Amino acid sequence: KAGVTQTPRYLIKTRGQQVTLSCSPISGHRSVSWYQQTPGQGLQFLFEYFSETQRNKGNFPGRFSGRQFSNSRSEMNVSTLELGDSALYLCASYLAEAYNEQFFGPGTRLTVL
């Protein structure tokens, strides 16, 4: 069974630009969550999607948004990039509920210059 895939693996952007990251969950999994990992703040929850609906949202500004498609693939978008958005963005895939075992992708490393 294929694991969680995330594309692209690395991104370099400049301040003010916008970026879109993609996550393909494990086949049969209907939920996707996104996390931001930084050395200072650790792993922080961004949002969760189930059946194309955002079910939960973390404490991030509105510049961070996401969506989920009918095939469960998910994208997250960050607009008006700031230096502090540089981080490893991880997505997690699971069957349906957040208390199911969660499986993470390799992440997208975003660097904002």
Partner 1 sequence: KQEVTQIPAALSVPEGENLVLNCSFTDSAIYNLQWFRQDPGKGLTSLLLIQSSQREQTSGRLNASLDKSSGRSTLYIAASQPGDSATYLCAVITGRRALTFGSGTRLQVQP
The site for partner 1 (CB under 8 A) is made up of: 4, 6, 33, 35, 42-43, 45, 48, 56, 58, 88, 90, 92, 97-99, 101-107, 109
Q: How near is the Cβ of 108 to partner 1 at its closest, in Å?
A: 10
Is the CB of 43 or the CB of 83 nearer to partner 1? Answer: 43
Is the CB of 5 or the CB of 17 nearer to partner 1? Answer: 5
Q: How near is the Cβ of 60 to partner 1 at its closest, in Å?
A: 12
* Token pair in block for residue 111: 């660097």
Looking up tokens 């390799």 gives 106
* Token pair in block for residue 34: 């996104």
Q: How near is the Cβ of 16 to partner 1 at its closest, in Å?
A: 26
Radius of gyration, CA atoms only, the chain? 13
Is the CB of 18 or the CB of 25 nearer to partner 1? Answer: 25
In order, the DSSP letters of 41-97 are TEEEEEEEEETTEEEEE-S--TTEEEEE-TTS-EEEEE-S--GGG-EEEEEEEESSS
Q: How near is the Cβ of 68 to partner 1 at its closest, in Å?
A: 15
